[in-house]
Structure 1
Amino acid sequence: MMLTNGGSACAAPPSTTTKTGKATFYDLAGTSGNCSFEVPADDLYVALGPSQYSEGASCGAYLDVTGPKGKVRVKVFDSCPECPAGHLDLSRTAFKKIGDEIDGIIPIKYKLVTNPSTPAPISVRIKEGASQYWFAARIDNHANLLSSVKVASGGGGFKTAHRTDFNYWLIDAGAGPGPYKIKITDVYGNTATLTGIRMSPGTVQRTGVRITGGSTTVTSKTTAPTPTAKATTSPAAKKPAAATPSPSVPSADPLLESASGLPDALSPSEVASGQPLVDLAAAEPGASDC
């Protein structure tokens, strides 16, 4: 996946063409990944090199990776500064599913997954230090690559957030005191509006919404959640997803749990203006090793 800017390169959603490359593995050693996610419960994740990590635009996507021993699905979780395009640095657990650990490096084929299933509905985490004057939120379990996040406080209008390379969406001037409506859109035009999100830094607010399927707008109506113990997370220093129509997702109240650890879908005019897209097909593997 490579971030491309401008021209006809942005005229289509990310490619799902199968590519060839190589895989290694690594251990987090007590840190978190640059995408600021909690470690997946199945321990299946991947770190991508700079061109494919695309300054965080790939975070939360899923790749199917095939190696000598079989296939595994991994979540984009981290960055690998030294990895060229086509070199995937897998979790040790993921690597062992498709190759022999003793080999250390194996040939692979991989591709971006569209509309993958997620282990839970969409969640929102407000970052420590956020307030009505500085808004920062991480979105998880969105399945496909996100194109935009917009935030409204109370009865106010939506403000567009910008994404950081550590996968938080920021509004530098703040979005007000909340509670918030957060409208997220993926690169296929699927949208979800999450309501009742509170300014509760350091906690994960879970909803009952899944944003996968064919350009279907779904809304989660939420009520005030009850927080539990908080923990902090920070970006790690180690290492700097074809649509089919689906019914609306039933609404559900958000839950809070302790946490450790490209604007709306592109319209033709936005495509013409050069909105960036993450393009897996552009990521031809390099011949050199890390």
Structure 2
Amino acid sequence: MALLGAVPRRYLFGGIGAVLVACIAVTVVLVRSGSAACAAPAVPAAAKVAGKATFYAATGAGNCSFDTVSAPLVVALGPSDYRAGAACGGYLDVSGPKGTVRVKVTDKCPECAAGHIDLSREAFTKIANPVDGIVPITFRTVADPGLPGAVTVRVKEGSSQYWLALRFDNHGNALSSAELKVGSGWQKLQRTDFNYWIDESGAGSGPFTVRLTDSTGRQTVVPNIKLTPEKVQGTGVNMYSGAVAKAATPAGSKPASASASASASTSTAPSASAEPGATTAEAADAAPPPQRISNTCN
């Protein structure tokens, strides 16, 4: 569907995965001495980035391999912001002429330059008039967004005792690593650009235990993952209930876009606040996030 002022139609391929916005890289992990191991310190919001937004026909599915949802509030990022899938599952607060909306990173926009984001139509209409097609915006990565529920995991089709691929969701911040428990230690899984974590040599018949670390350094352990391909498994594990890994660092080391503002937010609230005078990101902290983008975009 062609849209006024929108970028040329792009085509998404199933083998591509979505990446966490590189701005999340500027999020700093503040470890308070004497705090309980399970109590993660507040993380300041990432720096604001100035850019532009277009929109396309999104369903919540896309390169991050999330599931299709109705009325998705989602975003596709250009290669430099997508960072080979490292941005997948993270959130942005996007402010435009009409207000602010919170969106989940679920897709890649191959032709988008740094700072150019491609929103779902539903998200775009909350910040601008669709007739405009393309509008100036600012956005920032949200630290510790509200969670819609416990972490979920999907075992990819084709997985077996000889090859294993796992996709995680409902982790709030983007993930920086996933490690499989092997004996008394942990073995790192390989991240793909389509948002699956892979053990190329296989891990047996399961069940499996995986330790997740997000971009703020927070860790949690997800046990009892069954080898049941193509099924989404609930885990009962809340990503924010784990400890902060002292040795972990945010994924990446610089803001995603060259246009990032020199002044970062000084707020220490768990999530980025909306711009003054804007709408409230649709109470996104309490609302379930959309989970997938269409394979067609404009």
Confirm or deny a common fold (TM above 0.5). yes
**Correspondence for 2:161:** 132
**42, 60, 68: which is aligned to 2:89?**
60
Task: Say whether residues 1:104 and 2:78 are aligned partners.
Answer: no
Report SS of the residue matched to 2:124.
helix
- Report how far residue 282 of structure 1 moved: 3.9
Aligned pairs for 1:134-283 within 5 A: 134-152=163-181, 157-212=185-240, 216-217=242-243, 265=245, 267=247, 276-277=251-252, 279=254, 281-283=255-257
Deviation of 1:26 after TM superposition, in Å, equals 0.4
User: Secondary structure in 2 aligned to 1:102?
Assistant: helix
Runs of 5+ in structure 1 lacking a partner?
218-242, 244-264
Among the aligned pairs, what percent are the same residue? 47
CA distance in 2, matches of 1:276, 1:97: 29
- Cα displacement string for residues 28-71 of structure 1 (whole angstroms, at most 9, x for unaligned residues): 4x793000001345410000000000000000000000111111
Count of paired positions: 227
Q: Which residue in the other structure is 1:73 paired with?
A: 102
- Which of the two has greater strand per residue? 1
Do 1:46 and 1:90's aligned partners in 2 also have CA atoms closer than 8 Å? yes
Q: CA deviation at 1:285?
A: 4.2
The Cα offsets for residues 112-157 of structure 1, whole Å up to 9 and x where unpaired, read as 000001222110000000111111000111111211101136x564
Amino acid aligned to 1:185: T
Partners of 2:150 and 2:188 in 1: how far apart?
23
* Matched position secondary structure for 1:209: coil
CA, structure 1 residues 31+100, in 2 after alignment: closer, same or farther (shift >3 Å)? closer
Distance 1:208 1:42 in 2: 26
Match of 2:291?
none
Task: Find the aligned partners of 1:63 and 1:193 in 2 and give their Cα distance.
Answer: 25
- Superposition misfits of 4+ residues, deviation over 6 angstroms: none
1:196 positional shift: 1.1
Q: Secondary structure at the match of 2:104?
A: strand
What's the secondary structure of 2:239's corresponding residue?
coil
Q: Verify: 1:27 aligned to 2:27, yes or no.
A: no
Aligned: 1:38 with 2:13: no
Evaluate the alpha carbon distance shift between residue 34 and residue 44 of structure 1 in structure 2; reply closer, same or farther with a 3 A threshold.
Answer: same
Where does residue 275 of structure 2 map in the other structure? none
Superposed CA offset, 1:182-234 (max 9, x none) = 11111222111111110000000012222137xx33xxxxxxxxxxxxxxxxx
Paired with 1:25 and 1:266, the residues of 2 have a C-alpha distance of 39
- Conserved? CA contact 1:159–1:175, under 8 Å: no
Residues 46 and 125 of structure 1: is their aligned pair in 2 closer, same or farther, counting only changes over 3 Å?
A: same
Asked if 2 retains the 8 angstrom alpha-carbon contact of 1:147 and 1:266, the reply is: no
Instruction: State TM-score, norm by structure 2.
Output: 0.69
Counterpart contact for 1:144–1:212, Cα < 8 Å: no
Q: Secondary structure at the match of 1:212?
A: helix
Q: CA RMSD in A?
A: 2.8
Distance 1:283 1:42, change over 3 A: same
